[in-house]
């Protein structure tokens, strides 16, 4: 049925696409501030553009009970984003609690979905003003930085949006009220190739990121002041990620009808990864004063790893391994113990009913020798939580752990009292020995991209293109195996060669793995899950591989047990068992987020995503 533009009651997202520049400046008439005052000098221009930084969404620090751990990696009580995401209630993530909806506290930015079109308009206003000549008081470098940031953010917000929602128009100018009939489906000609739909969007993203990389500094002149702004390295990193998504089975199928990797895009992805890695390695030693140094591979040494995610001294988390994240400006008790901030953890530690890791996901963490965890180890105290990949205890607290003055009791009875869904607490974003009782100046942040992802993206691109994990393709300098080994070595895990025999014909049960998968594919994908646990990566990976539907209907499990008396309370080993606590739901329509219905009425060619 043909839809027309003149429809009453359009949603905010639609309004944001049609209102004027002055509306975006949000300046009351009595202020009498001119555009020349805002855009005529570098400081004012940068201040206007900085709203793009403020609108960034942290996947685990956005609002009450909000995380993006909705791929079955976590469990939470009802009324939280994890619970509803695991149940496939995606409209809840758009309108109530989720990274897509407006935050419940004004201490957090608007959601990705609600601010998307505002962000795109801001970037286009900035680019238009730079072309107009209104900027008088700025150096050539400052003009380049402003343009580079605008292009970066336009690409970044499209990258965030399209990998959730699929094909959308790529708006590259300030829209007028008469320019509303935009085509959702389109093609893009580039270098003799025709890209369709979602791959067309990714190509425009790549174009913007290429230009941004040529304009942005590799290191900002005042790194402590400008820390958090996009850099040349961030632009190159997201270029690699955009090509990875475009090449992946879900997106390639949408654009070409072929449910497989696109090898041409994989090869371009690998080259983009190499460019980012080479630059990162060349920048080792240029971190801001006081920040932990990275190693020669541009990864944070294990001893400093907590700093990537959390700090306790009033400084922002992060090292130069973190290519991009939302600026942190809240510290102490609110960030540790308020529900709007602490969405991964446990009532005993932060006073909140939050999300815990599902037992299915804990199974992905290998033993120290690289072998895969077996369910039979649940009843073996020497193997259940001990003798595991170092990232296991980095990521989780378990029963009996002592945190400051608290000895954790994760027995079934105490968990029921605490409203906890499983017998662990997610530790990754909490500094050691920090609890609700001694928050200090603690804070945390979820990386939106870090160098470990570039290495593992490289490994996936090379392996899925060549079918070999040992070959070094022409123009590259390492194999897929080499790249995975770099990430595993940091965590202290055995090499790929030593680990692969444990993966041969050995997929984990009740997950996205298949017996037909090559062992190296099982390994690198498992490595991604473990390395990026609770960073908002796993759900996106499941979807782009088009494997998420394999989890539909599986039981998400918890580990239950009774305890005796004493401190710490000893586990009654005969009582240890797994319990099915939730059923994961993922149908065909869940591969794409649903659009708000008002957006599908906005133009004649904007149909709802399938199944919604």
Q: Kindly list the distances between the CA atom of residue 356 and the CA atoms of 77, 433, 524, 587, in Å, as whole numbers in the listed order.
A: 10, 18, 24, 24
Q: Is 344 exposed, middle or buried (0-12, 13-18, 19+ CB in 10 A)?
A: buried
Task: Give the per-residue pLDDT at 65.
Answer: 81
- Please state the rounded mean pLDDT for residues 399-406: 97
pLDDT at 17 over 50: no
- Please state the rounded mean pLDDT for residues 119-132: 97
pLDDT at 459 over 80: yes
Higher-pLDDT residue of 17, 70: 70
pLDDT at 10 over 50: no
Handedness of CA 52, 53, 55, 57 (dihedral sign): positive
| Cβ partners under 8 Å of residue 38, min gap 6 | 25, 44, 45, 47, 48
Alpha carbons 416 and 528: distance in angstroms, whole number? 32
Confidence of residue 181 (pLDDT cuts 50, 70, 90): low
Task: Give the per-residue pLDDT at 175.
Answer: 87
Confidence of residue 177 (pLDDT cuts 50, 70, 90): confident
pLDDT at 350 over 70: yes
Task: Give the per-residue pLDDT at 236.
Answer: 98
Task: Give the per-residue pLDDT at 31.
Answer: 59
Render pLDDT for 520-553 as a digit per residue (tens, 0 to 9).
Answer: 999 999 999 999 999 999 999 999 999 999 999 9
pLDDT at 29 over 90: no
pLDDT at 291 over 60: yes
pLDDT exceeding 90 applies to what percent of the chain? 82
> Can you name the residues that pair with 558 across neighbouring β-strands?
579
Token representation of residue 368: 């120290």
Alpha carbons 294 and 300: distance in angstroms, whole number? 4
Higher-pLDDT residue of 605, 541: 541
């Amino acid at each position: 049925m043909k839809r027309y533009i003149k429809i009453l009651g359009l949603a905010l997202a639609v309004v944001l696409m049609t209102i004027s520049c002055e509306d975006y400046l949000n300046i009351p008439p009595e202020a009498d501030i001119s555009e020349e005052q805002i855009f005529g000098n570098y400081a004012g221009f940068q201040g206007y553009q900085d709203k793009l930084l403020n609108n960034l969404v942290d996947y685990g620090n956005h609002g009450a009970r909000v995380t993006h751990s909705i791929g079955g990696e976590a469990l939470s009580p009802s009324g939280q984003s994890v619970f509803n995401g695991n149940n496939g209630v995606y409209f809840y993530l758009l309108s109530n609690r989720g990274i897509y909806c407006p935050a419940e506290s004004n201490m957090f930015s608007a959601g990705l979905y609600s601010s998307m079109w505002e962000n795109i308009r801001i970037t286009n206003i900035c680019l238009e003003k730079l072309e107009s000549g209104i900027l008088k008081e700025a150096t050539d470098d400052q003009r380049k930085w402003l343009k580079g940031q605008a292009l970066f953010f336009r690409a970044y917000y499209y990258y965030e949006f399209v990998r959730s929602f699929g094909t959308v128009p790529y708006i590259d100018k300030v829209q007028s009220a008469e320019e509303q009939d935009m085509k959702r489906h389109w093609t893009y000609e580039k270098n003799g190739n025709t890209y369709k739909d979602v791959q067309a969007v990714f190509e425009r993203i790549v174009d913007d990121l290429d230009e941004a990389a040529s304009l942005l500094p590799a290191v900002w002149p005042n790194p402590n002041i400008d820390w958090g702004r996009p850099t040349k390295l961030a632009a190159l990193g997201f270029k690699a990620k955009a090509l990875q998504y475009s090449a992946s089975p879900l997106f390639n199928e949408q654009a070409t009808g072929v449910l497989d990797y696109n090898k041409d895009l994989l090869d371009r992805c690998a080259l983009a990864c190499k460019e980012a890695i080479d630059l990162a390695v060349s920048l080792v030693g240029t971190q801001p004063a006081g920040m932990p140094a990275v190693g020669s591979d541009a990864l944070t040494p294990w001893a400093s790893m907590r700093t990537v995610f959390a700090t306790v001294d009033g400084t922002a988390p992060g090292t130069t391994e973190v290519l991009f994240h939302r600026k942190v400006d809240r510290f102490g008790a609110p960030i540790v113990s308020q529900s709007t901030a602490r969405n991964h953890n446990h009532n005993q530690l932060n006073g909140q009913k939050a999300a815990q890791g599902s037992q299915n996901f804990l199974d992905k963490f290998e033993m120290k020798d690289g072998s895969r965890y077996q369910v039979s180890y649940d009843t073996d105290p020497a193997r259940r939580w001990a003798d595991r990949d170092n990232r296991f205890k980095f990521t989780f607290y378990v029963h009996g752990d002592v945190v400051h003055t608290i000895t954790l009791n994760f027995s079934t009875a105490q968990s029921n009292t605490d409203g906890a869904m499983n017998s662990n607490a997610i530790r990754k974003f909490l500094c050691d020995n920090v609890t609700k009782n001694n928050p200090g100046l603690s804070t945390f942040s979820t990386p939106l991209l870090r160098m470990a992802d570039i290495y593992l993206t490289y490994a996936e691109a090379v392996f899925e293109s060549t079918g070999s994990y040992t070959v070094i393709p022409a123009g590259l300098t390492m194999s897929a195996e080499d790249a995975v080994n770099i990430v595993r070595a940091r965590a202290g895990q055995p090499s790929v060669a030593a680990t692969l025999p444990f993966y041969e014909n050995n997929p984990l049960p009740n997950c996205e793995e298949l017996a037909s998968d090559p062992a190296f594919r099982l390994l690198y994908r498992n490595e991604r899950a473990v390395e990026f646990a609770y960073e908002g990566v796993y759900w996106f990976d499941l979807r782009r591989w088009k494997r998420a539907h394999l989890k539909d209907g599986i039981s998400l499990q918890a580990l239950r047990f009774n305890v005796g008396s004493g401190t710490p309370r000893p586990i009654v080993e005969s009582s240890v068992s797994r319990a099915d606590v939730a059923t994961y739901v993922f149908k065909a329509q869940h591969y794409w987020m649903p659009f708000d219905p008002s957006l599908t009425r906005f133009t004649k060619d904007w149909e709802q995503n399938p199944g919604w």
